Structure 1
């Protein structure tokens, strides 16, 4: 089944407002603030970039509320595994977690708390059952080194990638995630339908794509360093942020791109549940979302535009396949099976 763009993403694709959520939400009222201050500290397990996002948010939150924030960075799968192991040992350390799949995995394991902040976001950015809220968007596209691939000569479509001149010149990461080879396979399946995607992937496998056991961001860094001309599945905003700093890199508007988002939850057995709730409330507030925008990330708050609006699909000039965290969690195992069939 090929996902469509249309109405479900109307709000943050700039095509109109979506309906409010249909379940009870909780405001960061004075009682919550007082309870959070009494706890005095909160631990955040995060997949966000520390210097650009986590540290600035932590410092602003500490300054505003006097609550100390500690944090641990890992990818979504590592965070879920760490929380699960700590829960089994009866030693939950974190109060909040984020990631593209983390909240869904922990919700299914019974480790996430049923709570969301009272903030005016479209219903698609909340778990329908009330266990998570989105905090930023990710648009996954190829990227390229502009010194090695002059602008205008880069592959612009999936079919372009089959050109023999790109053989041995492309790379992706191999972790089972949306920002890896598996995510690219998923994008192709959604774009073409599985019957057409499989012959295409069989041809793409002949292009000798390099698989790297690093993060999507690290693949982009290797492309910037000139190790590989093209990265096949990166966050498009990362290429723009690096280019602003002088790096020879750009992204490719290969359509439809894959659009996912990071979501946050409070853990059910959180050591500082009130401070966790207050921190999530802050992260999705105007002030917190501005940190994402200033860092070149794609915020979810309607009143905080991204630095570069062209990075965000609008359904007209730039099309994308949108997947909620639940849909991503459901489909990724199949993408991984297909990836292993053709590229392992």
Structure 2
């Protein structure tokens, strides 16, 4: 059922990058000079603006005076449509964009440029594309979460089998987001962990739990758990729970055993970017130590594991954009059959 091609990344191709003593080196001065001549980089960005996007913009512009970041903000789906409209009109404005589902679609269309930033050499294989088309700027861990006023730590499920306990029937919610960060990603992880036959048997049993399909995103579902509308949710993001818990909310995420799901939010350069050198410079910065520190301070989970809190970095099945692009229709079909 599953096409396992490029499930986990392998060593990235160093497109345009020379290697010296095992370290990737780049003609930084040449790119910086060309970027300053371009003067602008158009960053189509769905990161939370005040929390992450604007701090990254400010830090980049402070480091590289003479290159201005033009932020084009919006939801990932809206920005993908905008890029497609620009491509259809042969008037592409986007230089740099991000997102797992978007990367898979644009890769299939042949619209991404291969570019390996120097910092990618420090990233594990599943955090970069084997052909050099993207590097993970942040990741998300897809996990269950529960309301701590309604469920004790002892009662909370610890394993996938625990989720099948009859006490959870009709009490579990998840978002109807048909992306790798929603039910399709959960389905993919079950099939990877258990194999096709055992995994499908598990999913059929899970469907008997009468999971509530909430027509909203993962953040909204978690807010409903916090409000006590549901005691337990699947397919929430761990960093959302951490942010809410830090503000006093009664919520806790669960590192479901043996592994949860992780999805990369890859940053990438458009093939026909109007400002390709400024785009490369921005990507360099985002995945560099400086950029990863900005994202970590913003409450995101950095793509570089060296900047992650070990307590918030559970064992995980990694779903790369290419693997998602190859298989998401299959996972959605399983969702439609069993859970819709």
Per the normalisation by structure 2, the TM-score is 0.87
Contact 1:116/1:132, CA 8 A, preserved across alignment = yes
1:24 is aligned, of 15, 23, 36, to: 15
Contact 1:93/1:271, CA 8 A, preserved across alignment = yes
Contact 1:131/1:265, CA 8 A, preserved across alignment = yes
Within-5 A mapping of 1:101-180? 101-119=101-119, 120-122=121-123, 124=125, 125-180=127-182
Task: For 1:184 and 1:126, locate their aligned partners in 2 and report how far apart those are by CA, in whole Å.
Answer: 21
CA-CA distance at 1:189 after TM superposition: 1.6
Contact 1:21/1:122, CA 8 A, preserved across alignment = no
Contact 1:143/1:232, CA 8 A, preserved across alignment = yes
Task: For 2:285 and 2:52, locate their aligned partners in 1 and report how far apart those are by CA, in whole Å.
Answer: 13
1:339 match: 335
1:330 match: 326
1:273 match: 276
Name the Cα RMSD after superposition: 2.4
Task: For 1:211 and 1:87, locate their aligned partners in 2 and report how far apart those are by CA, in whole Å.
Answer: 35
CA-CA distance at 1:22 after TM superposition: 4.3
Task: For 1:200 and 1:246, locate their aligned partners in 2 and report how far apart those are by CA, in whole Å.
Answer: 35
Task: For 1:97 and 1:47, locate their aligned partners in 2 and report how far apart those are by CA, in whole Å.
Answer: 9
Contact 1:2/1:193, CA 8 A, preserved across alignment = no
Task: For 1:147 and 1:123, locate their aligned partners in 2 and report how far apart those are by CA, in whole Å.
Answer: 38
1:219 match: 221
Task: For 1:217 and 1:24, locate their aligned partners in 2 and report how far apart those are by CA, in whole Å.
Answer: 37
Contact 1:113/1:268, CA 8 A, preserved across alignment = yes
Query: Residue 211 of structure 1: SS of its match in structure 2?
Result: strand
Task: For 1:206 and 1:21, locate their aligned partners in 2 and report how far apart those are by CA, in whole Å.
Answer: 42
Task: For 2:37 and 2:272, locate their aligned partners in 1 and report how far apart those are by CA, in whole Å.
Answer: 17
Task: For 2:277 and 2:288, locate their aligned partners in 1 and report how far apart those are by CA, in whole Å.
Answer: 16
Task: For 1:22 and 1:201, locate their aligned partners in 2 and report how far apart those are by CA, in whole Å.
Answer: 37
The gaps in structure 2 that reach 5 residues or longer are 18-25
Per the normalisation by structure 1, the TM-score is 0.86
Query: Residue 148 of structure 1: SS of its match in structure 2?
Result: coil
The farther-off stretch of 78-87 and 261-270 is 78-87
2:23 match: none
1:16 match: none
Contact 1:96/1:267, CA 8 A, preserved across alignment = yes
Contact 2:12/2:131, CA 8 A, preserved across alignment = no
Task: For 1:152 and 1:222, locate their aligned partners in 2 and report how far apart those are by CA, in whole Å.
Answer: 22
Change (3 A) 1:206 1:189: same
Contact 2:175/2:215, CA 8 A, preserved across alignment = yes
The gaps in structure 1 that reach 5 residues or longer are 10-18, 314-318
Within-5 A mapping of 1:1-344? 21-26=12-17, 27=26, 29-66=28-65, 67-69=67-69, 70-75=71-76, 77-119=77-119, 120-122=121-123, 124=125, 125-255=127-257, 256-301=259-304, 304-306=306-308, 308-313=309-314, 319-344=315-340
Query: Residue 98 of structure 2: SS of its match in structure 1?
Result: strand
The farther-off stretch of 22-31 and 251-260 is 22-31
Contact 1:3/1:190, CA 8 A, preserved across alignment = no
